[in-house]
Amino acid sequence: MSLHSIDPRTGKKGRPIDEAIPADVARAATRAAGAVAAWRSAPDALRGRLLREMADRLDARRSKIVEVADFETALGAPRLDGELTRATSQLRAFAADVEEGSYVEAILSPGDPEASPPRPDVRRCLVPLGPVGVFTPSNFPLAFGVAGGDTASAVAAGCPVVVKGHPSHPATSELCFETLAQAVTAVGAPPGLVSLVQGGASELSRTLVQAPEIRAVAFTGSQKVGRLLFDLAAARPNPIPFYGELGSVNPVFVGPAAAAARGNAIATGLAGSMMLGHGQFCTKPGLVFLPDGEAGDHVLAALVTAVDAHGVGVLLNSNLRASLARRLDATRRVAGVDELTARQPVPDDGCRAAPVLFATSLDTFLRHPELAEEHFGPAGIVVRGAASQLAEAAGRLRGQLTATIHADEKDGQWAAALLGTLAHCAGRVIWNGFPTGVAVVPGMHHGGPYPASTVSLYTSVGATAIRRFLRPVAYQGLPDTLLPPALRDGNPLGIQRLIGGEWTRRPR
């Protein structure tokens, strides 16, 4: 069997790509396990060098990668160029983190032989979990793809990786993988450190999650597939963590004063965020709570105009087009939901879709929980109600990657109460901004309560993403020379360590 590159603009097939069989997945997992010992004991400097080498080689093939990814995704060269920059920045940021070394979270509790009972010397740091399975999504072929954040953070943590490339862009995955593999060879890292398996059969995914050598899985994709694989990971003889990022509707609340003061700017910003990448962002604001009244009416009218103006665009693949169509039809059938955007004619070639904006009342929204489910693509729902009741409804939302508040000074109390509610259903709360665009900074959290993610304690973006692939080990009573360098008295790595309740770079 073989996969094909397909141009979603035209439906035209590109070149075929070899499809893996389950035995290939098992072989990749075995090779990953074979790389564990060498890579976990590789000095942080070598890990850093590999990550930088990967970034440099991706940069060197930039125009080719962008060209291939654009053919397969229709996301456009500027966006893909930016995405590749994001991927290489992530690799270099993780390189800097492992070179610096404090990511092992060393904690020293020196012993006290005079205490009663005598207190042993106990020192703890983080060590790699083992081989990681990575599932990449269709919508970020580069930043969350084969060379994306999950691969970068797992390799940085000292874990070999087996990536299942998304069948929507197989040539892009192959090209990125070849580039990473060349970097592995160039720095003399163990072969088997990074593998790629490609194919559309669900058996491949199952085999990867169930491979005995795999110790954790990172997944970005749909709730349906994510939950199936999560269940398999939990049902293993030895269950493993499954870090799934399953999407979100990213509610936006607009305060009455904000709507009155800068309704046009909010509407334009919202439409831009909702339609970015033709609505195919996990952080797309798909659910907008607008207060009753004139100011809200005005925002809604401006939003409809801006969404209409976005026009027909190309989706990533025909599966997404079909599932969006089903989802839109279901929403259209709900009594009390109005379709406000024009029905724009959609040419039959390729995977095109027109933007859609619905509106409904808070009552209808609360009676129909399915309206709170994601429309993946260029579509959103506006919910109207009294501001106070909208804020109350926030307490009934499921887990979200993000939640946004637009508020002016006069919205003060309303907004403050809402903030408290939203911080407990979302992974990130945004103030007078828009949720798309997830800054790769140490303070970022990209995750959230289920179903936004399967493990709300971890992020897939930002420096702390590396923690998903590390576990603590305590060393008790070891002679200094046998301790990992991170834990030795003299602090030869010069890292930050927690000693006596303070983080310090001093020797102990």
Is 479 a binding residue for a second copy by CB under 8 A? The answer is: yes
> Which parts of 87-116 interact with a second copy (CB under 8 A)?
100, 102, 107-109
Instruction: Please identify which residue in 464, 466, 488, 493 interacts with a second copy, judged by CB under 8 A.
Output: 464
* Separation CA 32–CA 28 (nearest Å): 6
Is there a contact between 129 and 216 (Cβ–Cβ < 8 Å)?
yes
Instruction: Please identify which residue in 40, 262, 410, 508 interacts with a second copy, judged by CB under 8 A.
Output: 40
Is there a contact between 439 and 90 (Cβ–Cβ < 8 Å)?
no
Is 43 a binding residue for a second copy by CB under 8 A? The answer is: no
Instruction: Please identify which residue in 138, 207, 210, 454 interacts with a second copy, judged by CB under 8 A.
Output: 454
The amino acid occupying position 123 is R
Is there a contact between 429 and 402 (Cβ–Cβ < 8 Å)?
yes
Closest CA to 420 of 392, 439, 443: 392
Shortest reach from residue 247's CB to a second copy, in Å:
15
List active site positions: 245, 282
> Which parts of 130-149 interact with a second copy (CB under 8 A)?
130
Pairing between β-strand 337-339 and β-strand 426-431 as defined by DSSP bridges: unpaired
Q: By C-beta, is 92 or 123 nearer to a second copy?
A: 123
- Give the orientation angle of helix 77-100 with respect to helix 149-157, to 10 degrees: 10
Residue 113 buriedness (CB in 10 A; 0-12 / 13-18 / 19+): exposed
Shortest reach from residue 468's CB to a second copy, in Å:
8
Q: By C-beta, is 341 or 400 nearer to a second copy?
A: 400
Task: Choose the binding region for a second copy from 218-226, 234-242, 275-283, 334-342 (rule: CB under 8 A).
Answer: 234-242
Instruction: Please identify which residue in 1, 185, 431, 507 interacts with a second copy, judged by CB under 8 A.
Output: 431
The site for a second copy, by CB under 8 A, has a size of 73
In Å, how far are 138, 179, 245, 326 from 319, measured between CA atoms?
11, 29, 19, 11
Q: What is the largest CA-CA distance in the chain?
A: 83
Is 120 a binding residue for a second copy by CB under 8 A? The answer is: yes
> Which parts of 354-383 interact with a second copy (CB under 8 A)?
none
Task: Choose the binding region for a second copy from 53-61, 186-194, 279-287, 500-508 (rule: CB under 8 A).
Answer: 500-508
> Which parts of 401-430 interact with a second copy (CB under 8 A)?
415-416, 419-420, 423-424, 426-430
Our measurement of the distance from residue 179's CA atom to the centroid of its chain's CA atoms, rounded to an integer in Å, reads 22
Q: By C-beta, is 123 or 310 nearer to a second copy?
A: 123
* Separation CA 32–CA 160 (nearest Å): 5
> Which parts of 203-232 interact with a second copy (CB under 8 A)?
230-231
Q: Which H helix or E strand runs over 419? A: helix 412-422
* Separation CA 434–CA 68 (nearest Å): 30
Instruction: Please identify which residue in 55, 68, 84, 129 interacts with a second copy, judged by CB under 8 A.
Output: 129
Q: By C-beta, is 364 or 459 nearer to a second copy?
A: 459
- Residue 352's φ and ψ, nearest 5 degrees, are -90, 155
In the DSSP assignment, the letter for residue 20 is P
Shortest reach from residue 356's CB to a second copy, in Å:
27
Cα angle, residue 437 at apex, residues 431 and 438 outer, rounded to 5°: 85
Is 261 a binding residue for a second copy by CB under 8 A? The answer is: no
Is 439 a binding residue for a second copy by CB under 8 A? The answer is: yes
Instruction: Please identify which residue in 1, 235, 309, 322 interacts with a second copy, judged by CB under 8 A.
Output: 235
